[in-house]
Amino acid sequence: MPWIGFVFLMGHLSFNHLARMNANDSRTVDITGAQMVLVMKLSAFCWNVADGVLPEEGLTDFQKDRRLTELPDLLDFAGYVFFFPSMMVGPAFDFVEYRRWLDTSMFEVPSTVDPAKKPPTRRKRKIPRSGTPAMLKMATGLVWIVMFLKLSPSYSPSAVTSPSYYDNSFLRRVFVLYMIGFCARCKYYGVWTLTEGACILAGLGYKGVDPATGKVSWDRLQNINPWGVEFAQNTKGYLDNWNINTTKWLRNYVYLRVTPKGKKPGFRASLVTFSTSAFWHGFHPGYYLSFVLASFIQTAAKSELFLTPFPAPVTRILTRCTDFRRLLRPFFLDPKNQSPLPTKRYYDFFSWFATQLTFTFVAAPFLVLGLKDSLRVWSAVYFYAVVGTAASMAFFASPGKRALRKALEKRAAKANGTDVGGKKDRDASLSRSTSTESLSSTRNGGPVLGVSLDPQAELDEALNELKAEYESRMGLVHSEELVKATEEAGKKIR
């Protein structure tokens, strides 16, 4: 039943996406935004009900927490579906969270919290006072909305499709492209921050109280972290702070649900998650250009290039492409204690600058939408992100990677007093710090917005699955032929 519900919801949404594309009329009311939120809430509800009829010992902690052992009455269900503060643009949440808010069990203070640090409430209300954090969210959201209104006349997506755009210099084109992306983000920052504030005011944003400080957390339904996006220094940091609840939904109700019990999520799970994320957004070609390019950029930034289909000589050369951050970042850290050196500020600035410029390029088709216009915009800035990604891969496929490794080993040897090339200095020079580890594959966590964090590993696993399937089938064919030949030989002997 949850699969039937999921297919129906996605099919209905896809039908309306296509209808919106065909109409192409800005004067009509677009309902797909609100419907995208409903798809998340209703598909999650289906899975919560399905988990409620399964044995509890076979469920994960998340499933145990969100399962529904009995259906709610119609009024509670309607209240959940049409919860006003988040109905139009989200954030989405599970029915269990709504029910705990409704019966106020969400606000019960644990016994570990000092009564003196219990959050203040108004009169006999159980919901802690939420007016101040809600008003701060409202003020912040309005600032973002005002910025969008001020910038949008000059930096709308139409600015990069007009002929005058191509009369600008290269730097001016890149700047305009960045401002268009920033302006579009301001709109989302504004509406999501406002709805988050509305949920906080209602009390649903409550996430608990810190036993040590007594400080109340109101980020249960946080959907966006503008500062995390604007100052991200890598791909994962950028995507982890954007549309946070959609990422959680894709992980918990798509990525992990298509994985057979007892197995780790693999290529098929990532493929289904990618397809769901793409179809959920719509069918404009620009969406798919952005998704595919983001996966390749993640490959260049973190993981080894997938090279199995290439001839052996090419494979031996290109498999040396690996972990951009892991080989460069240690030069800006103390080799003894991994503390930042004074020069790390330059590395941080370059990482931020490269990340912002790259996602400026990646997000352009997401705003322009059309295939022809998207490719024209990319060509106007000379495909700089594609060229940069290819150049990075080429450099780490060259002897440059080996030179970097040797330089790191010399630094570690000098700091630790060991022989160059020894195991100790190699491990020290290439040890992963917490920051570096943030870029490592989090396949159990699922792709971020459908973009795989380790495309190489996913494709490698896909080939292994195909190889195993092929060998299994060939083994079956050979065994059938052997049985047939044995029977014929037996007949001849008889």
Task: Please list the active-site residues.
Answer: 281
Cα–Cα–Cα angle for 366, 367, 370, rounded to 5 degrees: 80
Single out the residue of 193, 208, 93 nearest to residue 143, CA to CA. Answer: 193
Mutual angle of helices 267-281 and 2-23, in 10-degree steps: 40
Angle subtended at Cα 179 by Cα 225 and Cα 28, rounded to the nearest 5 degrees = 80
The 10 Å Cβ neighbour count of residue 190 is 22
Amino acid identity for residue 139 in this structure? A
Task: Record the tokens describing residue 462, joined without a space.
Answer: 């896909």
- Exposure class string for 341-366: b at 16+ Cβ within 10 A, else e: eeebeebeeebbebbbbbbbbbbbbb
91 CB-near residues (< 8 Å, 6+ apart): 37, 192, 195, 196, 199, 221, 222, 223, 244, 245
The residue assigned the tokens 């269900």 is 77
Whether the CB-CB separation of 409 and 429 falls below 8 Å is answered with yes
What ranges make up the beta strands (E) of 201-347? 208-209, 216-217
> First and final CA of the chain: distance in angstroms?
57
Calculate the alpha carbon distances from 367 to 156, 285, 342 in Å.
9, 11, 39
- Residue 96's nearest CA partner among 258, 204, 218, 243 is 204
Assigned token pair, 72:
């709610």
Residues 246/449, Cβ–Cβ less than 8 Å: yes
